[in-house]
C-alpha cells in the first residue's frame, strides 16, 4: 500500500514540475493555435469576399480562399511547434519523402487534383454552365480540386472525377441546351405549309431561350415522306419538359392544317432499305 502511495506521489510531483516548467509554454501554444485557426478561417472568407467584389468566378474565388486559409494554418502549426522547441526541419523532410512515396500508390486520385487545378485556372466552364462530357450532362453546381458536381433536370447530383473531364471532348452551352427534333410528313403534303404552321405555333412560345429563334426547315427526304427538322434552345433545367410540350404543340399545329405524318410502318421499311 505504501509503495502505491509513493508511486502516486512521485507521479504527482513529476506532473507539478512539468506544469511549472512548461505550463505557460503549453498554454501559450494552445492559445496561438486557437487564435491562428480563427484567423485562418477569417482570412479565407475575406479573400473570397474580395474576389466576389472583383467579380471573379465562384470557383476561382473558393480556390483562392482555400489556398489562403491553408497557408495561414501551415504558418500557425509551424509557430506552435516552435513554441514547444520542436525542430520542424526533420518533419518537413519526412513529409516530403512520405508524399513522394505516397504519390505512386495513389497516382489515380492525385491526378484528379492536377486536373482540377487545370479546370480552375483555364476555366473551360464555370458554375451555372451546362456541360456535356462522357455522355452525361447537367448544370455545373460546384468545382473542387478533385471532382466536378453537376445537377441534372431531376435534381440528381452527378459527381465526375476531374481527370475524366480534362482531355475529353467537352460541350459547354452556358445555361441552355439545344433540342433537335425531326417530323416526317407524307410526300403529298406541302412542306412550306408545315414549316409555316410550326413556326407560327412556336412564335412567342413560353419556355424557349430568349434571343435565339427556333429553326424549322426541310431536314432531309425520306421514301414517301419529307423530313422536317426543328431546332431550338431551352433552359437546361427544363429540357425534357419543354421538349415534350413543343412536340405536342408542333403536332397539334400540323393536324390543324390537315398535314399527316408518315406512318410508323413505312418509316421502318425505309430504315431497313436505307443501307441498300
Give me the CATH number covering residue 234.
Answer: 3.30.70.100
C-alpha 40/C-alpha 69 separation (Å) is 5
Domain span including residue 187: 176-273
- Coil/strand/helix, residue 215: strand
In this predicted structure, the answer to whether residue 271 has a pLDDT above a threshold of 60 is no
Give me the CATH number covering residue 138.
Answer: 2.30.30.60
Q: What is the pLDDT of residues 77-104, one digit of tens each?
A: 777 776 666 666 665 665 565 555 545 4
Question: In the predicted model, what is the mean pLDDT of residues 41-51?
Answer: 85
Residue 112 lies inside a defined structural domain of this protein: no
> Do 99 and 48 reside in the same domain of the chain?
yes
Strands 225-235 and 136-143: unpaired
* pLDDT value of position 218: 92
* pLDDT value of position 268: 38
Question: In the predicted model, what is the mean pLDDT of residues 174-191?
Answer: 86
* pLDDT value of position 217: 92
Give me the CATH number covering residue 11.
Answer: 1.10.287.1260
Report the number of distinct structural domains present in the chain: 3
Q: In this structure, what are the phi and psi dihedrals at residue 234, rounded to the nearest 5 degrees? A: -135, 155
Which segments of 174-224 are extended strands (E)? 176-186, 215-222
Amino acid at each position: 500500500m505504501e509503495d502505491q502511495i509513493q508511486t502516486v506521489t512521485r507521479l504527482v510531483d513529476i506532473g507539478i514540475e512539468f506544469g511549472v516548467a512548461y505550463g505557460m509554454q503549453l498554454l501559450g501554444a494552445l492559445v496561438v493555435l486557437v487564435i491562428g485557426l480563427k484567423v485562418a478561417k477569417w482570412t479565407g472568407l475575406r479573400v473570397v469576399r474580395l474576389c466576389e467584389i472583383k467579380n471573379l468566378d465562384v470557383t476561382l474565388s473558393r480556390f483562392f480562399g482555400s489556398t489562403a486559409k491553408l497557408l495561414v494554418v501551415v504558418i500557425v502549426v509551424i509557430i506552435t511547434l516552435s513554441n514547444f522547441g520542436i525542430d520542424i526541419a526533420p518533419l518537413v523532410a519526412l513529409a516530403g519523402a512520405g508524399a513522394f512515396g505516397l504519390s505512386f500508390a495513389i497516382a489515380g486520385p492525385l491526378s484528379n487534383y492536377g486536373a482540377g487545378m487545370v479546370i480552375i485556372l483555364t476555366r473551360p466552364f464555370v458554375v451555372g454552365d451546362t456541360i456535356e462530357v462522357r455522355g452525361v450532362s447537367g448544370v455545373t453546381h460546384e468545382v473542387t480540386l478533385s471532382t466536378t458536381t453537376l445537377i441534372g433536370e431531376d435534381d440528381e447530383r452527378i459527381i465526375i472525377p476531374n481527370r475524366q473531364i480534362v482531355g475529353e471532348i467537352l460541350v459547354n452551352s452556358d445555361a441552355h441546351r439545344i433540342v433537335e427534333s425531326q417530323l416526317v410528313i407524307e410526300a403529298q403534303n406541302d412542306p412550306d405549309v408545315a414549316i409555316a404552321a410550326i413556326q407560327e405555333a412556336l412564335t412567342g412560345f413560353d419556355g424557349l431561350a430568349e434571343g435565339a429563334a427556333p429553326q424549322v426547315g426541310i431536314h432531309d427526304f425520306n421514301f414517301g415522306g419529307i423530313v422536317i427538322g426543328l431546332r431550338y434552345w431551352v433552359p437546361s433545367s427544363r429540357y425534357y419538359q419543354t421538349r415534350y410540350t413543343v412536340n405536342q404543340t408542333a403536332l397539334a399545329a400540323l393536324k390543324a392544317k390537315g398535314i399527316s405524318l408518315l406512318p410508323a410502318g413505312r418509316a421502318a421499311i425505309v430504315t431497313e432499305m436505307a443501307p441498300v
